A and B are shown apart, each in its own frame.
Chain A
């Protein structure tokens, strides 16, 4: 028969053993996350922001919708058939994923910047610091060009969960400042004589080449100065100054060229058109090229029927079909591993042509335009001779008649189709070319993209309600909506 005392001792002993099993140190060890790294250095994060800058920011939904709005393409199926009819575009859910995705990129870039800034754990990594700033400028511009006034000065900042919206004019100042510090840091990296440890393998774009990054930064600077042509009387001369330090040839192109011929590694435009067939060639683009006998049509557009012929679709009025009826983009269908262009040499040359035209005194815009067309032809696999013939026979007479219009038309054509975002921005800035979607009249042209649902629901105090069909962004002549 046991006594109360022995029982007590026994119970205390048992409980002590188990109490030891739950002390804080042991519990901490048990709760350690062994699946993910607890920190990552700049070069470990860099590939993901480079990929996302090409993919999320440049190569997917933002551009596909721009391509339909600008009538490079017509929506023949599903959401893009709807988009052509201006259905659902005002919903905050529509671009929510990409809204969040853009800030995801900017957040990662800020993390890199903080790591490499003075006082950070990698304060000597000027190379990564410079790249992070150039990419911030690039992604911030994508953001504000589509969405106008957006959260920035308080965005992606630890401790702030309801960032205020900033005016686009202020954001543009930051874009130029970021490019300038990016250039300065990249130059410091050149002075250090190093690209950082094994930088090449982590740098999808330029394999650690600081000089090429500097040229890309200047080229972007030219693009963003020209974007302000309505707002800055010095836009053209500032653009020309930047161009002087920009790309020297297509070898300097700011491209993401690491796609692989597999389903999980291929170019997203290819995936999209191949798997979904939402877009086909629009009559607006086709007619501009057809009237100029543009030789790029053969390699750009598919032909159907017997005898085979082009069949572009009228924007806003395409029948709803999933492929097989209208001409589609051969650039994309043949482009499983095609690079995503974030900025090309031919775009820079078009900017130069426009800047020369707009500058006072005017510069030699014609030769810049001819260079641009040549670079575009070569970019798409044609020859300089093809370009020269085309320029002489088709472009030169039109240039003589209406120079700025033809420069912008030529740029509009050349931006097909992976650079459609630039065509969309140019149209909103210049009104070129003429668009034909009847819903632009009955509903309206989408002058900007709707903000994300997450911002509407989780930052309602600062959220700006807007009408995408009426409210132009600041550089396109609209009012700034942020307080």
Chain B
């Protein structure tokens, strides 16, 4: 785009140079603030005169100026006009900044079609590559957060490479895809995660991670369906169009080499507050007080400062089992040599009682090291750009991290006046070492570590002896008793992906009015995953030691436990997507005022997929972590392919640069639908009306530009249709234990698929109406862009749940509809512009509501993911998605009822009602504020994100309450009256707690509230300082002598200030992926805050 502008300006501008008496010769250079490069063709005018010139190829100018002149005006298409006061100077160098309000901006639209932004009848927003890489965030998805109105990024966890979910203008599909299509250099690429993530295992990388943000020239977000309609079946969720650096902006002549490096220090952003008073253990009714228990998962024991007296393990009948208390324990001679201490069985030593915060020690400081080198060149023959990048990220937990190597080359070559060829190719190798979450998270035993247990200071395995590293030491027993330090040092969740995606094209211009373009692209990758549970890991067969296996004061040696268990799971996927695209473009000028463009085209997409999994259980020999060392192995594979063929046309009419009409139509054929129902047509039409072109408004500097736009589109989304099939019937399960898998006894049992498919399945259809208004006010210092859209997604394809008594779980059919209304506002302000100082302030505002208007007949709610309870649902008449779970029991007035049975342990505490809706995930709105201050060579930018409203089920807070570890549980003595009502409608007055009712708080947190899902719903509003960066351009006088064109150093910080309504955790930490994300958190790795420095050198 910029190159085109340079060209236009050079051609169009005729420099006029009046030589007059009494003139002063002023010289200088004009450079770009964006990259420090000289800008040729900039108009330099004496203000209030016609005297002026333009800069040469090196951005230099020389102008004779009347002595009376006071100000020079520098202007250039696409850049902000700058006025410089002469004030006696003869050398005036200026830096021009990019003008976000540029009217002639050209944007990339669907299928790579470039259009003037003002000609569009729908909303498109561009984010520059510099904005994305500004704070050195290696993850493109999270880097987009807050930068685009209407685009919402829901993050998952702070794990390096953790995937995010992006929603543009809310959701349209109940349980299908709501993610936008990603297109890189004109070709759609795979961008999803290959494995679902619900409540177990680890997050899997989203394939957007394969893109190094440093390679990005710009990102265009096609928000509405009209903008995306030419993509047909894939257009329903908007499109993120990524244009990589191509060298077209490079200076003609010698190659331009850019080296950028950055380093960030990453630390855990939020840690929960914990109680530091009470020790491990629970109330014992026979003893009549809370008693110590060194392997109990609860911290409802005695006070830590009393352990020297109270560290006694009781049998449940109240008899003493073991004495660990130093004030009480006597040696063989009747002495008490360990006064003031207690015996720590896992340490096998006498220690002074003390409170520990395990999480503070568990998380480490991680780091991200980004390096990128780019070589770009352009010339008469064409242009190219080569980028090589590497990212090394170490996580905040031992042995987690991300390594990414990328290589990218793209370019174009002008073969003749008629032919042009081009290509774009990307290779990447991405490795991730991950931490599991949800049920498999190891953070249970970090956050849940009782304050009396010194997690970091206690050995995590039996100290010496053969194979003792496989004999864990933990503060708790059972399958979820894995010591987290042992786990991160022995277990492994690794994924490795290698990928190529790219395309080549040939363009022919046989006549002035015709352009033909054929492009073929390939996107292929393989991902290899390894999950290793080392021998001795809890939950894979190892019995976690009970208290008798640990030393006690009378026998301070570790008992012997034979290491067993272990599991290895290797799995992976290979994908190959071929994309062929043919476009023929015809342009015709009907009259001076009426111009038309017609595009006809065809797209052919064929996807192949193969995945496999191998699981070996039970290692025979410790430490030999190979499939060959397992006692049982199972394997599985899956293959599939799909094809979509589309034919499309696009007619654009332009009248007097004022009225722009655009109509598209696309006919798609999809293999994944049932025979006879494979072909579908999708139309769209849009109208843009630049009312400031009307005579009365034209040329008004108060309103230099105004446009109203309206569009309508219908786009689809195909489902998957299958006939009834039979597969191995693994999963004879109970919710509590590992399933039995085949072959068993040398035989495999087969079973029918549990989902039925409607043979009349059709694609679901989204109909969208969009209005928009764009205004530029006060000499372009204020810009407003408002969009409203209403989307109706009907005939949803989803698995309609069936009653268990049918023998099947669901019927895949068309039913129901969802209505989504969205408003978004972009506001660009330049509040201050004085001399070299400029302040730009951009705001994005997003609000949307998706309502599930109707599900299938008789179906009120469907689950999108989560547990049996709670879970995330689409529910008729509710906003999407909603959180469901066990509710408080309420009376007809909605008052929470309390238990009035005096013989019940839960007397006076809230009662549990039915399973029902307990929360809404959808926030009231999102806002992103970006401030950019520029003063000479310094640029300071800061982005603040504000989310208002929205709710989440916080499983992490629940567990910390359940375990008696959270700060909230620290008060165990003050009598309380639960804020509720009695059945007769009077307020609750039943007092619990206090000296005569010691067990009350423990029972409240761990028995009453723990399963009461509604009590763990929290609002997730937040204000976050997303990033701050300070960039300093090093003066030419320093860098020129060493051969540098440009150098700048930047300091950045991300996520380091957070205010939120969610206690203890970051509201941008979630469990699950896809449509359920954001509604539930269950021991995901917390987000990180980063501080770093970056260096950019251009030769």
Contact = CB atoms under 8 A, between A and B. Distances in A.
Contacts of B750: 37, 40, 44-45, 47-48
Contact of A103 (B511, B632, B804): B804
B617 A262 contact: yes
A107 B602 contact: no
B701 interface: no
B477 A324 contact: yes
A438 B903 CA distance: 10
Contacts of B479: 275-276
A191 interface: no
B57 interface: no
Interface string A262-288: 111110100110111110000000000
A410 to B, nearest CB: 28
A258 B740 CA distance: 11
B316 A311 contact: yes
B547 interface: yes
Nearest to B724: A38
B645 A442 contact: no
Given A15-B602, A163-B805, A37 B282 contact: no
Nearest to A451: B804
Nearest to B732: A55
B540 A31 contact: no
A34 B640 contact: yes
Nearest to B631: A262
Given A97-B868, A201-B746, A156 B478 contact: no
A92 interface: yes
A326 interface: yes
Contacts of B751: 45, 48, 104, 108
Given A22-B669, A108-B752, A324 B511 contact: no
Interface stretch (B138-146, B457-465, B824-832, B857-865): B857-865
Interface stretch (B158-166, B670-678, B985-993): B670-678
Contacts of B547: 324
Interface stretch (B292-300, B366-374, B765-773, B1044-1052): B292-300
B749 interface: yes
Contacts of A275: 478-479, 539, 736-738
B643 A27 contact: yes
A318 B316 contact: yes
A227 B861 CA distance: 39
A4 B79 CA distance: 41
Interface string A41-75: 00011111111100110001100100000000000
Q: Which of B282, B802, B912 has the most CB of A within 10 A?
A: B802
Interface in B498-550: 510-511, 514, 539-541, 543, 546-548
Contacts of B1059: none
Interface stretch (B707-715, B807-815, B975-983): B807-815
Contact of B868 (A64, A93, A110): A93
Nearest to B912: A88
Given A91-B886, A457-B859, A2 B510 contact: yes
A442 B316 contact: no
A265 B749 contact: no
B696 interface: no
B479 to A, nearest CB: 4
Contacts of A318: 316
* From B671, B802, B804, B886, residue with most partner A Cβ within 10 Å: B804
A323 B477 contact: yes
Nearest to A165: B805
Contact of A278 (B736, B747, B804, B807): B736
Contacts of B749: 44-51
Contact of A18 (B476, B645, B672, B675): B645
B672 A31 contact: yes
A255 B739 CA distance: 19
A317 B903 CA distance: 13
B725 A272 contact: no
Interface string B556-570: 000000000101000
A44 B726 contact: yes
Nearest to B801: A458
Contacts of A22: 643, 645, 669, 671, 678
B618 A263 contact: yes
Given A161-B802, A161-B811, A51 B740 contact: yes
B373 to A, nearest CB: 40
Contacts of B808: 107
For chain A, which range describes its interface: under 10, 10 to 19, 20 to 34, or 35 or more residues?
A: 35 or more
Contacts of A150: 805
B617 A452 contact: no
A313 B316 contact: yes
Interface in B716-754: 721-727, 729, 732-742, 744-754
Contacts of B868: 93, 96-97, 453
B645 A93 contact: no
A13 to B, nearest CB: 11
Given A30-B643, A51-B732, A161-B811, A35 B727 contact: yes
Contact of B282 (A151, A156, A317, A320): A320
A91 B869 contact: yes
Contacts of B742: 47
B816 to A, nearest CB: 14
Interface in A376-414: none
A82 interface: yes
A82 B1010 CA distance: 11
A321 B511 CA distance: 84
Given A21-B643, A24-B675, A97 B726 contact: no
A151 B807 CA distance: 11
A277 B643 CA distance: 51
A264 B752 contact: no
A216 interface: no
A82 B569 CA distance: 34
Contacts of B752: 40, 45, 107-108, 111
B974 interface: no
Contacts of B675: 24, 27-28
28 contacts: A2-B510, A11-B600, A19-B647, A22-B645, A27-B678, A31-B642, A33-B640, A34-B640, A37-B725, A40-B726, A46-B749, A55-B732, A55-B734, A79-B736, A88-B1011, A103-B806, A108-B752, A156-B805, A163-B805, A163-B806, A262-B618, A263-B541, A264-B741, A321-B296, A325-B316, A453-B868, A457-B801, A458-B858
Given A7-B510, A264-B632, A265-B741, 7 more contacts: A22-B671, A85-B905, A100-B809, A111-B752, A271-B736, A311-B316, A321-B282
Interface of A: 1-2, 7, 11, 14-15, 18-19, 21-22, 24, 26-28, 30-31, 33-40, 44-52, 55-56, 60-61, 64, 79, 82, 85, 87-88, 91-93, 96-100, 102-104, 106-108, 110-111, 150-151, 155-156, 160-163, 201-202, 204, 258-260, 262-266, 268, 271-272, 274-278, 304-305, 311, 313, 317-326, 438, 442, 452-455, 457-461
